[in-house]
Chain A
Amino acid sequence: MTSKAVAGEHKHRDDVGSRMGLWLFLFSELILFGGMFIIYAVYRFMHAEEFRLAAAELDPFIGTINTMILLTSSLTVAMSITAIQQGKKYLSMALASTTLVLAVVFLVNKYFEWSHKISIGIYPQSPELMNKPQGEILYFGLYYVMTGLHAIHVIIGMAVLGFMLVFIAKGSINRGSFVKLEAGALYWHLVDIIWIFLFPLFYLIH
């Protein structure tokens, strides 16, 4: 038996392993949303026409704007990794902050969209909604739940990126060690990917 590494000599760092763990977590998250997509698929199959009618009540313009906002926020967070790799700390922070700002804009849009729906009387258990056919009740139920859970993921992603900003500022994320920022960015892209599917399924099927 030959010795390879002696205890305590140095802490071995394995960025590939760290990213592997995070990817596995992302797959879990994707399947979590996947469960809701299965529900969506089954109900859409059962109530195709009513889903189409209900979708016509959403405003594709807001959906499109929000899609572009999220795509752009993904771009900036990806670029912030390149920046930190080049050692440009402030550029990296600026790019990551842009992502946060865009995330806030996304949520504000979402807020207005939801309030509009609620103001015209479409919300769970509302008399207006209860008078609609069952397919539409299911559609709006899923709409609220899926975009709502997505919004919660946006908020979690913002919190994670907020921590990353602090780490960059403090220097614990730096040119030589940036796997944490990569992890935060990966999570953010996941939020983006989920929206990429939510968008056509809710806004574009009319």
Chain B
Amino acid sequence: MTTAATVADTVPDFYHEKTRFKGIFGWIFSTDHKRIGLLYLFAVITFFLVGMILGVLMRLEMLTPENTIVTPQTYNTFFTLHGIIMIFLVVIPAFPAVFGNFLLPLMIGAKDVFFPRLNLLSWWLFIAGGTLALVSIFLPGGAADTGWTFYVPYSIRSNTNIIPALMAAFILGFSSILTGLNFITTIHRMRAPGMTWFKMPLFVWSLYSTAWVQILATPIIGITLLLVVIERLFGVGIFDPTLGGDPVLYQHLFWMYSHPAVYIIILPAMGVVSDIIPVFARRTIFGYKFIAYSSIAIAAVGSLVWAHHMFTVGMSNTGMFIFSLLTFIVAIPSAIKVFNWVATLYKGSIQLEVPLLFMLAFIMQFSIGGLTGLMLGALSVNIHVTDTYFVVGHFHYVMFGGTGFALFGALYYWFPKMFGRMYIKRPAFIGWLLMTVGFNILYFPMLILGYMGMPRRYYHYLPQFETLHRIATVGSWIMVIGIIILIVNLIVSLKKGKKAPANPWGAATLEWTVSSPPPTENFHEIPVVTTGPYDYSNITQSVEETR
């Protein structure tokens, strides 16, 4: 992208920067985007492990058709908390907050985000919201049991700790809004000279469109959840049907955000795929502008399809028809991306490193998730499989098979940049293999189960579903072993990994021009960008030197 930067050895990396406070306070009061990114990373991984344990426990309960390990009420709180944690605390912040923070300024040649202190505030709000969500589990009254969707009227009537959980989601929403506006301003105002819009890495494009969804859709759920809180506290009539309220309106407002949230979750993951594939195919990305524009298109059209979550609530036929049609349209930009990735791989000189393997798993699993999504978007099929395991399977293929895998791939890809060490390759490969195999054994049977009529969120089930449930549960064990290997491997690599050069993958985006880990203010001199983010013509040589 530019000629290799010459960062003087005297500039300390960001782990050794002089901070106002010592030790841990040097981190939690730091406004450095890299430190904030890593703070988010640790928080997100912690929450992910909590959510994963809940998931494994649920699968264990489903091992037999009758009572296995927990009571029905506990099972209800399990799936509620699993949803809240995984959605609001893991996949939504995963890319914008973790990788967006760490990489965005590096990728566009800036020293930090536009509002560094606001960025720190976002992190604090995130931690406050996350803590509140976890604390609500242990408060008297018990953990919320409404499902992560908090549907009224149940969320108005339930005697569990709904208010803390709702307030947690509200606070997390604010954190997300602030991150979004920070990124938009950063991208508009802080690109390095020569970094035109079409020289930006595609991850930045995806962050940009995501940020718009964050600031324009999040307030809707914020106010909706707040209204439920007010309704519970003061008995104001808003959604409560006994006071004339319309619970379906709650669902409209809830999905008005929560469907676009799916795009907050998946778009940056797609950006990561678009950035990683060309590096390991040693080819420029196929159809750069199509991918860039399709990010915007997905963000825009994705905001218009929310009511396909509500086809069975008794909407008007006109409404159903329009939302179904729009749902099919949103598949087009998603498919454009998939075709472009495959075309990029075609005739590339492929290096099968672990990050690329994750991206390949992403493409396969996202395609399954996307196509089952189209089935769900079709009105006739939807009526049949709504609220069954088909939806659960589809959802996890997109959220986990897509974003989750991209998350691990991104973590392995940028690990050398973040921590200055290479990961150890063999366990990484084994971990990937187990995770991918386990994932598919876990979730593919769910698609079949759902098609056979197994309803979601049920504690007991009919005996004919037992075999597939057992297969899925075994899959969860394999997958968890893979995930543990992957995480432990990274921890071991922090100490035992080889020291990482500035550009171990021979990538052409700006973050690889600075040392690993990057210096405190990223760039000694703000670079002037002359070539594109996927132009490897000048890079090949330097890779061989560093290896």
Q: CB within 8 Å of B: which residues of A?
A: 1-8, 14, 16-17, 20-21, 24-25, 27-29, 31-36, 38-39, 42-43, 46-47, 124-125, 133-135, 137-138, 140-142, 144-145
Contacts and interface: CB of A to CB of B under 8 A. Distances in A.
Interface in B356-391: none
Interface in B178-201: 178, 180-182, 184-185, 188-190, 192-193
Contacts of A28: 177, 181, 215-216, 218-219
Contacts of B192: 4
Contact of A3 (B223, B256, B525): B525
A17 B220 contact: no
Contacts of A134: 237, 243-244
A21 B216 CA distance: 13
Given A24-B185, A39-B238, A39-B249, A34 B220 contact: yes
A144 B236 contact: yes
Contact of A39 (B184, B253, B525): B253
A34 B237 CA distance: 18
A35 B185 contact: no
A7 B219 contact: no
Contacts of A25: 177-178, 181, 215
Given A2-B528, A138-B245, 10 more contacts: A1-B2, A3-B525, A7-B523, A21-B118, A25-B177, A25-B178, A34-B219, A39-B227, A133-B244, A134-B244
Residue among A21, A24, A134, A144 with the highest chain B CB neighbour number at 10 A: A24
B115 A35 contact: no
A38 B223 CA distance: 11
Contact of A46 (B184, B246, B256, B524): B246
B189 A135 contact: no
Given A1-B2, A124-B235, A24 B181 contact: yes
Interface in B490-547: 521, 523-528
A39 B521 CA distance: 47
A32 B223 contact: yes
A42 B177 CA distance: 26
B528 A1 contact: yes
Contact of A137 (B222, B227, B237, B523): B237
Contacts of A137: 237, 243-244
A191 B243 CA distance: 30
Nearest to A124: B236
Nearest to B530: A1
B181 A6 contact: no
B230 A145 contact: yes
Contacts of B118: 21
B25 interface: no
Interface residues of B, number: 50
A17 B524 contact: no
Contacts of B216: 27-28, 31
A5 B219 contact: no
A17 B114 CA distance: 8
Nearest to B2: A1
Nearest to B193: A4
A29 B181 CA distance: 12
A35 B230 CA distance: 15
Contact of A142 (B5, B177, B238, B521): B238
Nearest to B111: A7
A20 B189 contact: yes
Given A17-B185, A35-B219, A42-B249, A125 B235 contact: yes
B234 interface: yes
Residue among B180, B193, B526 with the highest chain A CB neighbour number at 10 A: B526
B249 A4 contact: no
B3 interface: yes
B238 A138 contact: yes
A16 B114 CA distance: 11
B524 A7 contact: yes
Contacts of B473: none
Contacts of A14: 114, 189
Q: List the 8 closest A-B pairs by CB distance, nearest first.
A: A134-B244, A17-B189, A32-B219, A24-B181, A3-B525, A35-B223, A125-B235, A141-B237
Contact of A35 (B193, B224, B523, B528): B224
A144 B234 CA distance: 11
Interface string B204-240: 0000000000011111101110010010001111100
A3 B8 CA distance: 14
B193 to A, nearest CB: 6
Contact of B525 (A6, A20, A145): A6
Contacts of A135: 244
A43 to B, nearest CB: 7
Contacts of A142: 238
A66 to B, nearest CB: 22
A27 B182 CA distance: 14
Contacts of B236: 124, 141, 144-145
14 contacts: A4-B526, A5-B526, A17-B188, A31-B219, A32-B222, A33-B223, A35-B220, A35-B224, A36-B227, A42-B246, A124-B235, A134-B244, A137-B243, A138-B245
A153 B472 CA distance: 50
B115 A21 contact: yes
B215 A27 contact: yes
A36 B125 CA distance: 24
Contact of B246 (A3, A43, A141): A43
A21 B5 CA distance: 31
A188 B106 CA distance: 35
Nearest to B114: A17
A24 B215 contact: yes
A138 B242 CA distance: 11
Nearest to A134: B244
Contact of A31 (B115, B220, B246, B521): B220
A29 B219 contact: yes
Given A32-B223, A46-B246, A20 B2 contact: no
B156 to A, nearest CB: 13
Nearest to A148: B230
B204 to A, nearest CB: 17
Contacts of A125: 234-235
Interface string B88-118: 0000000000000000000000010011001
Nearest to B227: A145
A3 B526 contact: yes
Contacts of A39: 227, 238, 249, 253
A1 B527 contact: yes
Nearest to B520: A7
B253 A21 contact: no
Contacts of B252: 38
A43 B243 CA distance: 12
